[in-house]
Amino acid sequence: VRIWDAWSKALLWTLRSHRDHVTTVDWSPTKPFMLASGGWDRRFHLWEIDGAEVEACRTRRNCSESISPVVSGRHPQLVWSVAFAPGGEHVAACHGAVGQSPTVVVYCLDTGKVCRRLGRHRDTPLVVAWSRGLKLASAGMEGRVLIYDGDASLDDMPQGDRDTPEEAVEWLEDLLELHRNTSNVSDSLPVVDSGLSHPLARQAFW
């Protein structure tokens, strides 16, 4: 991840921790030198550059080349998108790959850990975004946009996406196949509950 000065066009920092292509970055809305990144190495990184380093880099061009992430998370599949919540206290990230469990997770920055796991996409989720009203949306390759209550504290499914009996069978087959091909299912599976309903499901807001 490289950070450039927009005015001077000078390269300031190169953040070296990802082991494969970086697919997404997002800046904190409340902390000017905090950012999140994700990539094909299946890793989520949270970076924060402290004030002393910023001052040294700006005034003396003495920019550190050894900045490490303050939080790192390993995902079971490729990470495609990260997005800070408006208040800066949470970061959403989505991961998925063909034939694997597509999932959206939310990191709580006070602990640096995943505090929610969301799902129900049938194919890779490619983007996540927050609204100002703390709704979280994700869009996947299957052509659907799912909306979640962004300030809830529990794992859940997007409201209103009730499975048909045929879809429920497909989900079960996918879960069984994943169980046969992974040794750590509990870290990668969303909670499945087909009994939720709400008119906000399938409503897009971008």
**Domain ranges, ordered by start, for the chain:** 2-187
Stronger pLDDT, 60 or 187, i.e. the higher one: 60
In the DSSP assignment, the letter for residue 169 is H
Please compute the mean of the pLDDT values over residues 136-156 and round it to a whole number. Answer: 80
Please give the Cα distance from 174 to 189 (Å, whole number).
Answer: 11
Please compute the mean of the pLDDT values over residues 170-187 and round it to a whole number. Answer: 54
Sheet of 125-130: strand order equals: 125-130, 135-140, 145-149
Does residue 193 have a pLDDT over 60?
A: no
Secondary-structure class of domain 2-187 per CATH? mainly beta
pLDDT in tens, 26-41: 999 999 889 999 998 8
Give this prediction's pTM. Answer: 0.69
First to last CA, the chain: 27
- For residue 197, how many other CB atoms are within 10 A of its CB? 10
Kindly report the average pLDDT of the chain as a whole number. Answer: 76
The two counts, helices (H) then strands (E), for the chain are 2, 13
Does residue 124 have a pLDDT over 90?
A: no
Give the β-pairing of 90-95 and 103-108: antiparallel
